[in-house]
Structure 1
């Protein structure tokens, strides 16, 4: 299933990977309550998750970090690297840790969500992943921004320090509405939350986000968040 088609209209098939059975049951109940989401399998270890994904071919994997046999980060790497698998991985963890977050993104995860998130945020993350979008929990967005800006500052020539522009020049390619959507994305809002804020449909928001990424030459929402903060779109 190609990224453009994954989760576009039909049921989004999900595998849950967590070493705590009660947590898997709770997460499964939340996701199964959505009419478009079907939980097709559960794994208690990273190794089980890798094998289960190969056999069930889900659209999305909700992956815990700390599990026996193989942790969720290594399992994510193997799932993403497997050419026979086309599943998007959303890391779902109790740990708001920079090292886990960055390693998860480097491993190929498209989302990073804390287990303290609201049920609707979990559902949104799964649907976003199925639609080919990246989504970070608002709590961890600042970590990505600060690390990216620090790395850029460290590699910039000392005579040319990184600074925010005094004018909105970088936003010139964007329409007023697209710039507004970019600002909301940079604040960590999901497509559903942006739609509610602007009183438009989710499909309209998705169109605007896609336009922003294309016009600014960005790969995903994570890059959009970093770009917006780097260029002074938000404080």
Structure 2
């Protein structure tokens, strides 16, 4: 608790200032107060938690799984082959220069209001940090240690699992922590632009009804979802990297 004391104090000050400012402004359909948002969140708890949260969570999970498979496999492939690295790495970089929010309506045209349009948006946002961080981690392996193992007759597979993979794990988890938070943003963007369910869709629907607190209520859930996913990745990192914690 002491570790996050200053952060919690800062958040409290911001929320307190927001509450006072919103009450003074007196237009909750534009700037709702934090208390008003919490009250509205409680009022909408059933429809949000039972209908829209599962839809958003499905997009996030599927998108993250695809990004993990695609990103890790591509990073290993680029690490093993200079030709693949020269061919794909510039494309990976260039993919992040395209504004995803401009592509989202196209995905709606292609996939309709199904889950796959939102999943593609999520993958485009999340695969980059996983791919680049894992690739950098594989390349950061100690070359002297690899040479020692080679002189001892170790195979390429043994070197990968004994040296390169442990070296890449910290970088991989750093990329995954970024990706899980971005996945929430990707899912919300996809739902905002074209969906019939999900927290992003519900927030947009409340905006058309000039319900300021209703707009913020699903945003609060999205923020909490991102925090929970980040914490889960941190716990998974500690469980799978006990050797690093012990050192």
Query: What's the TM-score, normalizing by structure 2?
Result: 0.26
Greater strand share, structure number: 1
Query: What's the TM-score, normalizing by structure 1?
Result: 0.27
Larger of the two Rg values belongs to structure? 2
Greater helix share, structure number: 2
